[in-house]
Amino acid sequence: MSVTPLTSPINISQETTIPPLLGASVAELSAWVQQQGQPTYRGKQLHEWIYQKGVRSLADISVFSKQWRAELAEIPIGRSTIHYRSVAPDDTVKYLLQLADGQIVETVGIPTDKRLTVCVSTQVGCPMACDFCATGKGGYKRNLGRHEIVDQVLTVQEDFQQRVSHVVFMGMGEPLLNTDNVLGAVRSLNQDVGIGQRSLTVSTVGIRDRIRQLAQHHLQVTLAVSLHAPNQALREQLIPSAHSYPIEDLLAECREYVAITGRRISFEYILLAGVNDLPEHALELSRRLRGFQNHVNLIPYNPIQEVDYKRPNRQQIQSFVQILQEQKIAVSVRYSRGLEADAACGQLRSSNAGNS
Ligand code: SAH
């Protein structure tokens, strides 16, 4: 077959190098069709069929000649298949998506009044092994390609028959260990799929130097940092990577991020009863966060099997909120959706794939 791969091809099997068309810009697609001896405008058509019409096989692009379609038939666009789908009573839908190499990732579609939010995974599994998170318990397999991230959004859009308005990079994996593909997906979701940058949120536990590097891109996306503790001793207890990247260094980088981008950071703080939810923790957290633009998002713990942390009750949560408010820290509480489908924050795990 005389098809030239796009730049940065993904080696899917040893024999074939297949271009990941999904995630490519109009310019990239136009360059690619040109290499196939086609006129440049075919790139725009290809773009429209991939992103707007959501075509799953290039052979179905009826505006292309029969002969070319036959040649293209073997080139995958980079779409996954839905392996399993479950709907929670609050209408949150959890998907297990099967990728070209057979790996499974989780994606969650979260409908609210006017919004449709997708929670995307960035890795198969996760190497960070945070104590309270189910994903880390299953270990790490590999990074997702940018097409595999964009695919999750198109899949939810197609299934809901509704445009996706928001994307949160809060599924399986640590986005800043896969920065190139995450940035590629951010570009594509923004420019190809048409989702505003401000409606995209990248969540990280914090990887040394990566937050500063992200700032250099001057994006309008929201950065969420999973802080979860007000001091080094407690953070280390919950998050193994905190040993080599202390909270002081992380917060210094966050301050730099705010200074460079002018955008506030959203700090996520999981509430574990009796562990990090006491009044002294709220006060210490306020002291730490004073003096730069930020917002605290409290996430009451969602239970997972392996550990016996407890979710605080409403009164405990409220008193934590009140202390932060008194200290003039902007705060909100995120009551996770999708709990009944094991689709809430921290409950995603690839091992569920076997239970479908
Ligand atoms: N690796 C990224 C994104 C993954 S998870 C990060 O750490 O930010 C998105 C959020 O869910 C993170 O803040 C994560 O710490 C939180 N989370 C993990 N396990 C949880 C659980 N059991 N209950 C509530 N939130 C959890």
For residues 68 and 96, membership in a common domain is answered with: no
Is residue 244 one of the residues assigned to a domain? yes
Where does the pLDDT of residue 350 fall: very low under 50, low under 70, confident under 90, or very high at 90 and above?
Answer: low
Q: Domain boundary at 78, 93, 112, which?
A: 78
Q: Are 133 and 146 in contact (CB under 8 A)?
A: no
Res 57: pLDDT = 92
User: Mean pLDDT over residues 3-24, rounded?
Assistant: 55
Q: Give the mean model confidence (pLDDT) for residues 50-54.
A: 97
Assess whether 95 and 156 both reside in one domain: yes
**According to the model, what pLDDT value does residue 5 have?**
41
Say if residue 109 is in the same domain as residue 34. no
Q: Which atom of ligand 1 is nearest to the CA of 205?
A: 7
Q: pTM for this structure?
A: 0.92
- pLDDT-derived band at 306 (thresholds 50, 70, 90) equals confident
Judge contact between 211 and 202, C-beta under 8 A: no
C-alpha of residue 213 to centroid of ligand 1, in Å: 22
Q: pLDDT-derived band of residue 19, with 50, 70 and 90 as boundaries?
A: low
Report the CATH number that the domain containing residue 61 is assigned in CATH: 1.10.150.530
Q: 268 CB under 6 A from ligand 1?
A: yes
Position 292 in a domain: yes
Give the pLDDT band of residue 341 (cuts 50, 70, 90): low
Q: Does the beta carbon of 122 sit less than 6 angstroms from any atom of ligand 1?
A: no
Domain that holds residue 31: 9-78
Q: 346 CA to middle of ligand 1, Å? A: 5
Alpha-carbon gap, residue 272 to 312, rounded angstroms: 6
| Alpha helices (H) along 127-220 | 134-137, 146-160, 179-191, 210-215
**Would 349 be classed as within a structural domain?**
no
H helices of 36-132, where?
A: 41-47, 66-72
Last residue of a domain, one of 21, 55, 78: 78
For 114, counting Cβ atoms within 10 Å of its Cβ (0-12 exposed, 13-18 middle, 19+ buried), the class is: exposed
- What's the distance, Cα to Cα, between the start and end of the chain in Å? 38
Number of domains comprising the chain: 2
Q: Is 323 in the pocket of ligand 1 (CB under 6 A)?
A: no
**Pocket mutation for ligand 1, best pick of 172, 295, 299 (most atoms within 8 Å of C-beta):** 299
Q: Are residues 148 and 227 in the same domain?
A: yes
Q: What is the C-alpha separation between 183 and 180, in angstroms, rounded?
A: 5
Domain presence at residue 209: yes
Q: 127-163 burial, b for 16+ CB within 10 Å, e for fewer?
A: ebebbbbbbbbbebbebbbbbbbbbbbbbbbeeeeee
Q: Is 298 in the pocket of ligand 1 (CB under 6 A)?
A: no
Alpha-carbon 193 to chain mean position: 16
149 shares a domain with 72? no
Contact 301 CB / ligand 1 (< 6 Å) = yes
CB 163 within 8 A of CB 116: yes
Q: What is the mean pLDDT of residues 216-244?
A: 97
Atom 13 of ligand 1, nearest CA residue? 226
Residues 57, 102, single domain; the answer is no
Q: Which atom of ligand 1 is nearest to the CA of 128?
A: 1
Classify residue 57: in a domain, yes or no. yes
pLDDT at 338: 72
Q: What does DSSP say about strands 93-98 and 104-111: parallel, antiparallel, or unpaired?
A: antiparallel
Q: 17 lies in a domain? A: yes
What mean pLDDT comes out for the span 154-176? 98
Q: How confident is the model at residue 335 (pLDDT cuts 50, 70, 90)?
A: confident
Is residue 4 over pLDDT 90? no
Catalytic sites, residue numbers: 106, 345
Whether residue 299 has its Cβ less than 6 Å from ligand 1: yes
Q: Whose CA is nearest to atom 12 of ligand 1?
A: 226
CB 222 within 8 A of CB 202: yes
**Residues 275 and 185 occupy one common structural domain:** yes
Select from 78, 109, 133 the last residue of a domain: 78
pLDDT digits (tens, 9 = 90+) for 232-273: 999 999 999 999 999 999 999 999 999 999 999 999 999 999
